Structure 1
């Protein structure tokens, strides 16, 4: 009995010590204590629970999960702990399965369920969970829950989910303001998002003002995600210099959040495009490291993977580009971007025919091929000059083939093929489609007018008249339609044209609303407009006024005459030289710079030479030929004495002066 009583006392003491260590957050010592308890009482459920909690607090999730699996008889009630360990070990789907098996989930299980659903990007279901928690729970964690709800709303906004517009949020903290900015980003309202992000940055700094122990490095670390998001907003608004400055500012501080750094690296690579490829490769390696798998959502991972494919293409790494494109096709079968990148790579290698064959096979096999791939295929056919096949593809686009842009392209292509009938059919089909499916569209009137103009140009005035008559019934006050109709009737029924022309208003009526002064003052491309404006300004200055004002204006406009410049030694008593305007070499007293000793050579056609033997190169002495060569120069001691060497010393030392040009 004494031993049993002593063991009971020891276990009670150990539990008391465990309670004290837990309150003091000394989890390592608490783990040793609970191990002593379990050694004495292996089946104690509370001790087992405490051990699992200690392991979780020490971030030893793998050990805690193994312990739960190892002892199912003691861990049947530890649903939250099991799901939390799975969540922290990135076994998110397993964690969701564990949580869904709970019949009546507690509040903490609902909190964890919301986190798991957010990680799995099931935003709609996550929104319902957090809305229920925010509505029914009141404790010290209300602000955190509302922040999480704001993050879910931002995700819904990016997915264009209508649930995102059903809830209003506060913006008292910088986290709430940041999530509100993300919500606006989903709506593509970049200007308002920028305002929210700058407010979030200001609130974050104010929040640290009361903490005297907070360093500037800690504040910058908290601002990392806000600055990178602000850089993205500026980048989308076409402010690359400001965005790049923010990205480099964050990366210079070596952010602790690798996800934030990866986004900044990727966005800088977007700036570089096909320039500075070495820097882009280095940054892309940092943005695609293995530890980023669970730090980025699927949209971010997809964008980085696409940019990596493009980087491979720009750096002429064709094999890596193909492998990455094929991998993206397997991961994102519904996306067109991997196919477009692969086609671009083939076109860069000047294998347009292979690109066409690849796209043709994919479009044929795919039941719901996207319009972008079909339009790309049409563009490739145009690049090779296959106009007929391009027209067939454009006409197979369904309702898009009746849109004004595609109709215009088809008419232009058929006109270049001199197939007027096909172009006319395209226009008629477009008019028919709009009348059946969208009769109130403004595009209908545009297509009818252009169709009428086309038929008028090609001598089919009767078709143009029918179309314009129908448009005029819908728009009786449209003078442009009336003018076109008169033009059409001139070719079909001149009497009817004359009758309709009487309905046109007079020229005075048409010009009543025209501001002539505004037209004259406009900066048009008409020749002499600037000169006319100067004259008009001069006339405006000559407004009637007092004689003194008019005299003052005349003085302002009067040009001051300048006396011409005269030479320094100009003699006013003598007449100027009549040859003063001629070039110096053409004056009668010009002697030239040197005497020409070869006067026997007359001026004649190029290549003509005299009969002098001195100019015959075949009879020249070896010494003369050597002297004429520009490469070897004989020394003064060995050079033969010629006429130049026999000149006086003064003439040998005289240097030629460079010409300074003609003096006038």
Structure 2
């Protein structure tokens, strides 16, 4: 057998093996068979292509890239494979370059890969345009997958353009339903998003149960939907429900790092300055380095801001400063937030002047109001009320906003400067009268101004505020009544004219049910028992002897004791019982034996030495305070009862 025939035989046998292994999904064997063919025939394109595909299936993307770079002669035939390897190796820029270098017309699968690469590079408009083009021209069974990817791109596009098209989008699969819910979340329609997520959970469970998936695997698959539902709850203010969903789904064995990071970040937001140990563990999960390729920059920058705030809470000053610098380097649009966090960090470390100067040096046209309010807040914390008021007054047109006007008046009233507070209201009223601004709802401002001026004795200024309030609420008769009361103090004719617009008593009492009011009043009033009145004493029935005065009973004089001497001074102890008086002598009971102190033969001077009763009393007193001990304890006297006569006689008989 010649070399040529042997070579052809090995190639044919290895291709047969390669075909069999590829059908069974044994890619390691496919790789060995392809290497044998390429060892005999290095320019065999089909074997080379099978080798690249098997490397892709085995997730050996770097090895496939090096192999493709060594064989540039096959580049035009393997554009998709090379671009896909770069995409999976987290190199989207190189993947896009490979696609753009291709000279031949790109097929549908390469176009889809390009749309996905543009999505990864956050060029959402270009990506959506390619998907629209593919959906129009393609005719295969992957239409639902393309719609799913298109809706995923639309989530990060301009929401105003998408709001009108959301209702027309499909939701027949759970992936489409989930992406539609994400679009509703971006537009701020959280109630409809909640309904869609519930529908998505139901569809997903039905599909997985048809495939006979275990309950544990179903819970892992549903974790994405439930965590997104937790975010909807959090935005609606249902914090406890959101926290429970996050915690329960994080306990599942999730493989998606991005999903775990999002849930952990949201838990840290809920915890704020509480449960710091738990937040520290969650923040480590959210700051995984692999998230650079898993999450878009919009989500990663929010995690970075939350990390800086968390370091501020746990008093990690250096770590907080590093986090703020990282935000400045990567996301310039968040430089204002980073500056504010840095200023708070300095303020917390006792550098108040440096913090305020840092905020003053921060120049941003759009967020200057936010910066000034932060400065005012720091000055308030330092109790520099006058300086804070000056900053709020020098905000230009923003100083006339209702919230800032309310803060200024509150501060001036707290200082005790009512005149300046009045001037603030007067300036605000004049500003809105001159400019005639209609976009802002000022009803609360006019009402507060009117009440404030009435309290301080300025009815004319209060009337101006009530007039402005009446223009917005013409049918409110309470405002008219307040205006009548205000005008009655300085313009009675005008008050009379306005009073004619008020409803009459008959009009007010039309809808009043008198009987129901009487029943309510009778049930609520508590009647007290009054003394019985005799018919003779009722008015209109005078008695004949009513003119006679009633006789008053005189008090009787107390009886004096016998032999009473008025000149003698009474005994001061006359009200005390006999046994408590000073001259009382207690009879000694002979039956009781006297207490013998000391032993027989002891000298009388040594009696106190052997008397231990006083030592017991001293030990109790020096025991210190306790909750249930009397501070001045006394030894209780034992009462000895004398024996009865019958018992004494029986004892004598026994003897």
Q: What TM-score, normalized to structure 1?
A: 0.70
1:393 to 391, 394, 404: 391
Map residues 449-528 of structure 1 onto 2, 5 A cutoff: 494=491, 497-498=492-493, 501-505=496-500, 508-509=503-504, 512-513=507-508, 517=512
Are 2:76 and 2:102, in contact at CA under 8 Å, matched by a contact in 1? no
Note the C-alpha offset of 1:219.
1.6
Match of 1:246 in 2: 245
Are 2:90 and 2:293, in contact at CA under 8 Å, matched by a contact in 1? yes
SS in 1 for 2:295: coil
Match of 2:74 in 1: 74
Are 2:180 and 2:196, in contact at CA under 8 Å, matched by a contact in 1? yes
Match of 1:408 in 2: 406
Does residue 124 (structure 1) correspond to residue 125 (structure 2)? The answer is: yes
Are 2:92 and 2:121, in contact at CA under 8 Å, matched by a contact in 1? yes
- Once residues 232 and 94 of structure 2 are traced to their aligned partners in structure 1, the CA distance between those partners, rounded to angstroms, is 36
Note the C-alpha offset of 1:449.
7.5
Note the C-alpha offset of 1:295.
2.6
- Once residues 55 and 514 of structure 2 are traced to their aligned partners in structure 1, the CA distance between those partners, rounded to angstroms, is 83
Counterparts in 2 of 1:279 and 1:11: CA distance versus 1, 3 Å: same
Counterparts in 2 of 1:472 and 1:229: CA distance versus 1, 3 Å: closer
- Once residues 126 and 37 of structure 2 are traced to their aligned partners in structure 1, the CA distance between those partners, rounded to angstroms, is 43
Counterparts in 2 of 1:627 and 1:110: CA distance versus 1, 3 Å: same
Match of 2:139 in 1: 138
- Where in structure 2 are there 5+ consecutive unaligned residues? 528-573, 585-606, 623-634, 643-655
Counterparts in 2 of 1:398 and 1:138: CA distance versus 1, 3 Å: farther
Counterparts in 2 of 1:42 and 1:514: CA distance versus 1, 3 Å: farther
| CA deviation map 1:494-519 (0-9, x unaligned) | 5xx42552343176537724677599
Match of 2:220 in 1: 221
Counterparts in 2 of 1:504 and 1:290: CA distance versus 1, 3 Å: same
1:375 to 373, 376, 382: 373
Counterparts in 2 of 1:623 and 1:241: CA distance versus 1, 3 Å: farther
Are 2:422 and 2:453, in contact at CA under 8 Å, matched by a contact in 1? no
Greater mean alpha carbon deviation, residues 342-351 or residues 398-407? 342-351
Match of 1:290 in 2: 289
Does residue 626 (structure 1) correspond to residue 636 (structure 2)? The answer is: no
Are 1:410 and 1:426, in contact at CA under 8 Å, matched by a contact in 2? no
Are 1:479 and 1:504, in contact at CA under 8 Å, matched by a contact in 2? no
Match of 2:4 in 1: 4
- Once residues 132 and 96 of structure 1 are traced to their aligned partners in structure 2, the CA distance between those partners, rounded to angstroms, is 18
Are 1:284 and 1:308, in contact at CA under 8 Å, matched by a contact in 2? yes
Does residue 384 (structure 1) correspond to residue 392 (structure 2)? The answer is: no
Counterparts in 2 of 1:480 and 1:194: CA distance versus 1, 3 Å: closer
Note the C-alpha offset of 1:374.
1.8
Does residue 534 (structure 1) correspond to residue 523 (structure 2)? The answer is: yes
Match of 1:27 in 2: 27
- Once residues 583 and 92 of structure 2 are traced to their aligned partners in structure 1, the CA distance between those partners, rounded to angstroms, is 105
| CA deviation map 1:203-241 (0-9, x unaligned) | 1221123234x2222222211211222222223333344
Map residues 11-22 of structure 1 onto 2, 5 A cutoff: 11-22=11-22
Are 1:424 and 1:455, in contact at CA under 8 Å, matched by a contact in 2? no
- Once residues 512 and 399 of structure 1 are traced to their aligned partners in structure 2, the CA distance between those partners, rounded to angstroms, is 45
Are 1:626 and 1:632, in contact at CA under 8 Å, matched by a contact in 2? no
- Once residues 135 and 227 of structure 2 are traced to their aligned partners in structure 1, the CA distance between those partners, rounded to angstroms, is 29
Are 1:404 and 1:443, in contact at CA under 8 Å, matched by a contact in 2? no
- Once residues 519 and 260 of structure 1 are traced to their aligned partners in structure 2, the CA distance between those partners, rounded to angstroms, is 65
- Once residues 419 and 67 of structure 1 are traced to their aligned partners in structure 2, the CA distance between those partners, rounded to angstroms, is 83
- Once residues 26 and 386 of structure 1 are traced to their aligned partners in structure 2, the CA distance between those partners, rounded to angstroms, is 76
Greater mean alpha carbon deviation, residues 381-390 or residues 421-430? 421-430
Note the C-alpha offset of 1:76.
4.0
Match of 1:151 in 2: 152
| CA deviation map 1:591-637 (0-9, x unaligned) | 99xx889999xxxxxxxxxxxxxxxxxxx95666534311699xxxx
Note the C-alpha offset of 1:11.
3.3
Counterparts in 2 of 1:339 and 1:596: CA distance versus 1, 3 Å: farther
Match of 2:438 in 1: 440
SS in 2 for 1:74: helix
Match of 2:329 in 1: 330
Map residues 20-59 of structure 1 onto 2, 5 A cutoff: 20-59=20-59
Counterparts in 2 of 1:318 and 1:622: CA distance versus 1, 3 Å: farther
Match of 1:658 in 2: none
- Once residues 522 and 155 of structure 2 are traced to their aligned partners in structure 1, the CA distance between those partners, rounded to angstroms, is 56
- Once residues 211 and 326 of structure 1 are traced to their aligned partners in structure 2, the CA distance between those partners, rounded to angstroms, is 50
Match of 2:115 in 1: 114
Match of 1:205 in 2: 205
Note the C-alpha offset of 1:401.
2.6
Note the C-alpha offset of 1:149.
1.9
SS in 1 for 2:72: coil
Counterparts in 2 of 1:230 and 1:647: CA distance versus 1, 3 Å: closer
Q: What TM-score, normalized to structure 2?
A: 0.71
Are 1:407 and 1:427, in contact at CA under 8 Å, matched by a contact in 2? no
Counterparts in 2 of 1:536 and 1:518: CA distance versus 1, 3 Å: farther
| CA deviation map 1:467-500 (0-9, x unaligned) | 88899899988877877776777677x5xx4255
SS in 2 for 1:341: helix
Match of 1:554 in 2: none
- Once residues 353 and 471 of structure 1 are traced to their aligned partners in structure 2, the CA distance between those partners, rounded to angstroms, is 43
- Once residues 394 and 621 of structure 2 are traced to their aligned partners in structure 1, the CA distance between those partners, rounded to angstroms, is 79
Counterparts in 2 of 1:288 and 1:465: CA distance versus 1, 3 Å: closer
Match of 2:600 in 1: none
- Once residues 251 and 359 of structure 2 are traced to their aligned partners in structure 1, the CA distance between those partners, rounded to angstroms, is 44
| CA deviation map 1:65-119 (0-9, x unaligned) | 1122223233244222222111111112222333344564321112112222222
Greater mean alpha carbon deviation, residues 112-121 or residues 163-172? 163-172
Are 1:434 and 1:441, in contact at CA under 8 Å, matched by a contact in 2? no
Alignment RMSD (CA, Å)? 4.6
Are 2:405 and 2:424, in contact at CA under 8 Å, matched by a contact in 1? no
- Once residues 141 and 276 of structure 1 are traced to their aligned partners in structure 2, the CA distance between those partners, rounded to angstroms, is 47
SS in 2 for 1:113: helix
Are 2:484 and 2:498, in contact at CA under 8 Å, matched by a contact in 1? no
- Once residues 165 and 364 of structure 2 are traced to their aligned partners in structure 1, the CA distance between those partners, rounded to angstroms, is 38
Counterparts in 2 of 1:477 and 1:60: CA distance versus 1, 3 Å: closer
